[in-house]
Amino acid sequence: MEETTNTDGFTIGMDAAAVDAMYTNTLKDFTSGSIVPGKILRIHDGEVLIDIGYKSEGLVDAHEFGDIEELNVGDQVEVLLECLEDKHGMIVLSKKRAEQQRKWDHIVNECEEGSIVEGTITRAIKGGFIVDIGADAFLPGSQVDVVPVRNVDEYMGRTLDVKILKINKERKNIVVSRREIIEEARRGQKLKILADIKVGQIRKGVVKNITDFGAFVDLDGIDGLLHVTDMSWGRINHPTEMVKVGDQLDVMILEVDLEKERISLGLKQTLSNPWKDIDAKYPVGTRIRGKVVSLAPYGAFVQVEEGVEGLVHVSEISWTKRIQRASDVMKIGDEVEAVVLNINVDDKKISLGMRQIEDNPWELAAMSYPIGSVVHGKVRNFTSYGAFVEIEEGVDGMIHVSDMSWTRKINHPSEVLKKGEEVSAVVLEIDAANQRISLGLKQAQEDPWSRITENYKEGQKITGKVTKLTNFGAFVELEEGIDGLVHISQISGEHVEKVKDVLNIGDEVEARIVKIDPAEHRIGLSIKAAAIADEDFEISDDLLTGLRPGEELVDLSSAFDDLDMGGREWHPGGN
């Protein structure tokens, strides 16, 4: 049979046996995944028909060829045979995959792990970037630079050198790194810098990382530590108050350890020291105005000027208020006025006082309330030893328990006073420096013992009520607040073994005064002497038993400790 060929390149006019034989031979030359040559037969509707010499042609999307206008029928191309026959009986070809395969083969054959190649970042994916190095390679985010990637977009489309870290032929994966190239370059730069660096130099650097104790600064190949204490002449709580990652700084070289390759840096040292001549600039007594920059339980730190802070201790905030914490009366950012109290240039400390802005009310009180003057006030608070009386707002005087009564021994101020009670008292002493005013409550009243000799005479008979019993005698009340002591030997003409066997509290007795001591606030009594006629009575030594100096009555305070009152408590001179 005569053979002819149509315009599409198909062989016609052959007998069936010849065609089958040709196809059988052709099949031996094609395997899926191989790259084969082909010829463009037709370009139509975005598809390209390609003949690879197989029994059927294959269609390839025109987008795989780039610019379709440059394609012509008859052009020779390489394609990858993806499948010999799809569900429509056609072979499946790919121009793009053929190119990728050629690139992959080039990488595998021409490049080794550790070699440096040029690539272009084409897109960002989870965990890093895809880099075109002739084939797609993965560039992990951690391998892009020596510093963390902050802005992904700034890397898109960039062409850069990368180092091949890993080639996985089975999975067709390539992992590359740019960081290793940078670090290798930095190692050389680091040695150069270490050879050139000197203490006192000013160098430019970029903040690479921040910790709680400072910041690491990249000095173009080697890192130095900028400690938080060397960032500012003033107080900062955390490095982020001064710097952030990426900041460009001029820093001073403070210390270099060549053996350990450690460099200490200073930022504040590049600026003038504000503490220089600070004592001349702010002499003691100077008024300043500043901002509260930090609060502590014991006080507030006030910025006097940039880099200079002073401490206002809680005790220097107010003349009259008892401030427990500085935060109770001020907050960070407050503008305050203060007076310089002390400056320690060596330790960089300034003591400030806010209360000194106002007059000291305690000094004014010394003029307003002279010693001996009578003041009026309200009982504000008690302690175990006295009561505080508010004389004016913020100014308290203290009445000691010993100055509360002429006739009674007061153990606690609540025995005679109540909180909120209005009282009158006499100013006994003023200590403006220590902010103390001593007051006397009893001094504002007449001392009943001052007229005792006018109302009572030795030898006089009195009638009184037994108020207290002791093992050495009994106390008899002559009038309110005035007691006399009947010694056990003066209770009866007969021997008395125990006072309580003869007398009881509340008994009314008649007695004769045998001793009056106004200075010591003491009166001696004798019940048995009351039976003696007035004309026969005279004071004898036996009547003064127990009343002589050195005996019980002379030190009644110790005698009161021995009171036998059946559980009742007694205070000298009263109930």
**Tens-place pLDDT, residues 146-158:** 777 778 888 888 8
As a whole number of angstroms, the distance between CA 188 and CA 241 comes to 34
DSSP-assigned letters across all residues of 374-412: EEEEEEEEEETTEEEEEEETTEEEEEEGGGS-SS---SS
**464 and 547 share a domain?**
yes
Pairing of the two strands 262-266 and 248-257: antiparallel
As a whole number of angstroms, the distance between CA 114 and CA 203 comes to 34
Count CA atoms within 13 Å of residue 116 on its CB side.
Answer: 9
pLDDT digits (tens, 9 = 90+) for 207-235: 989 999 999 998 887 889 999 989 988 77
- CB neighbourhood size of 526 (10 A): 26
CA-wise closest residue to 50 among 113, 94, 112, 116? 94
- Domain of 49, CATH number, reads 2.40.50.140
Longest pairwise C-alpha distance within the chain: 189
- Give a yes or no: residue 505 inside a domain: yes
pLDDT digits (tens, 9 = 90+) for 466-481: 988 988 899 998 887 7
Give burial (CB, 10 Å; 0-12/13-18/19+) of 541. exposed
Out of 75, 99, 123, a domain closes at 99
Please state which of the ranges 228-232, 243-247, 311-315, 571-575 shows the lowest mean pLDDT.
571-575
Domain that holds residue 284: 278-357
In sequence order, the 6+-apart residues with CB closer than 8 A to the CB of 251 are 202, 203, 204, 205, 217, 219, 224, 226, 265, 266, 267, 270
Phi and psi angles of residue 167, each rounded to the nearest 5 degrees, phi first: -120, 120
**224 and 311 share a domain?**
no
Where residue 564 falls among pLDDT bands split at 50, 70, 90? Answer: very low
Q: With the CA atoms of 14, 18, 19 and 25 taken in that order, what torsion angle do they form, in degrees rounded to the nearest 10?
A: -150
**94 and 72 share a domain?**
yes
pLDDT of res. 563? 42
**388 and 424 share a domain?**
yes
- Give a yes or no: residue 538 inside a domain: yes
Where residue 546 falls among pLDDT bands split at 50, 70, 90? Answer: low
Are the beta carbons of 206 and 187 closer than 8 angstroms?
A: no
**466 and 557 share a domain?**
yes
As a whole number of angstroms, the distance between CA 336 and CA 356 comes to 12
SS in 3 state form for 290-319?
EEEEEEECCEEEEEEECCEEEEEEHHHCCC
**341 and 365 share a domain?**
no
- Give a yes or no: residue 105 inside a domain: no
**230 and 165 share a domain?**
no
Where residue 145 falls among pLDDT bands split at 50, 70, 90? Answer: confident
- Give a yes or no: residue 188 inside a domain: no
CA-wise closest residue to 58 among 97, 24, 111, 25? 97
**158 and 77 share a domain?**
no
pLDDT surpassing 60 at residue 4: no
Please state which of the ranges 15-19, 336-340, 505-509 shows the lowest mean pLDDT.
15-19
Where residue 14 falls among pLDDT bands split at 50, 70, 90? Answer: very low
CA-wise closest residue to 359 among 394, 328, 396? 394
pLDDT surpassing 70 at residue 27: no
pLDDT surpassing 60 at residue 569: no
Joined together, the tokens standing for residue 80 give: 């990858």
pLDDT digits (tens, 9 = 90+) for 338-361: 999 999 988 889 999 998 888 777
What is the average pLDDT across 246-258? Answer: 90
More confident call, 559 vs 475: 475
pLDDT of res. 354? 92
What is the share, in percent, of the chain residues with pLDDT greater than 70? 89
Where residue 547 falls among pLDDT bands split at 50, 70, 90? Answer: low
**264 and 282 share a domain?**
no
| 3 state DSSP class of 216 | strand
In the numeric block, the tokens 């608070």 are attached to 381
**339 and 422 share a domain?**
no
Joined together, the tokens standing for residue 22 give: 């040709």
- Give a yes or no: residue 190 inside a domain: no
Helices (H), 81-139: 95-110
Out of 309, 329, 357, a domain closes at 357
What is the average pLDDT across 13-28? Answer: 44
pLDDT surpassing 70 at residue 40: yes
pLDDT of res. 508? 92
pLDDT of res. 545? 65
pLDDT of res. 96? 82
17: β partners:
none
CA-wise closest residue to 225 among 214, 237, 235, 240? 214
Please state which of the ranges 11-15, 58-62, 179-183, 403-407 shows the lowest mean pLDDT.
11-15
353: β partners:
339
Separation in Å, CA 98 to CA 25, 74, 94, 102, 104? 24, 19, 6, 6, 10
More confident call, 466 vs 493: 466
pLDDT surpassing 70 at residue 559: no
As a whole number of angstroms, the distance between CA 58 and CA 81 comes to 9
**341 and 394 share a domain?**
no
pLDDT surpassing 60 at residue 423: yes
**80 and 119 share a domain?**
no
Torsion 240-246-250-255 (CA) sign: positive
Angle CA(343)–CA(345)–CA(350) in degrees, nearest 5?
35
Q: What share of residues in the chain are helix, strand, coil (percent, to 5)?
A: 25, 40, 40
Task: Give this prediction's pTM.
Answer: 0.41
- Give a yes or no: residue 567 inside a domain: no
Question: Best-predicted range by mean pLDDT among 27-41, 303-317, 539-553?
Answer: 303-317
Average confidence score pLDDT of the chain? 81
What is the average pLDDT across 316-327? Answer: 85
Out of 270, 305, 328, a domain closes at 270
What is the average pLDDT across 280-288? Answer: 91
DSSP-assigned letters across all residues of 514-528: EEEETTTTEEEEESG
As a whole number of angstroms, the distance between CA 175 and CA 167 comes to 7
Domain count, the chain: 6
Q: How many helices (H) and strands (E) does the chain have?
A: 7, 32
Please state which of the ranges 203-207, 299-303, 321-325, 566-570 shows the lowest mean pLDDT.
566-570
In sequence order, the 6+-apart residues with CB closer than 8 A to the CB of 234 are 293, 303, 306, 307, 308, 309
Length of the chain: 575
What is the share, in percent, of the chain residues with pLDDT greater than 90? 24
- Give a yes or no: residue 174 inside a domain: yes
Pairing of the two strands 91-94 and 58-61: parallel
pLDDT surpassing 50 at residue 570: no
More confident call, 342 vs 566: 342
- Give a yes or no: residue 572 inside a domain: no
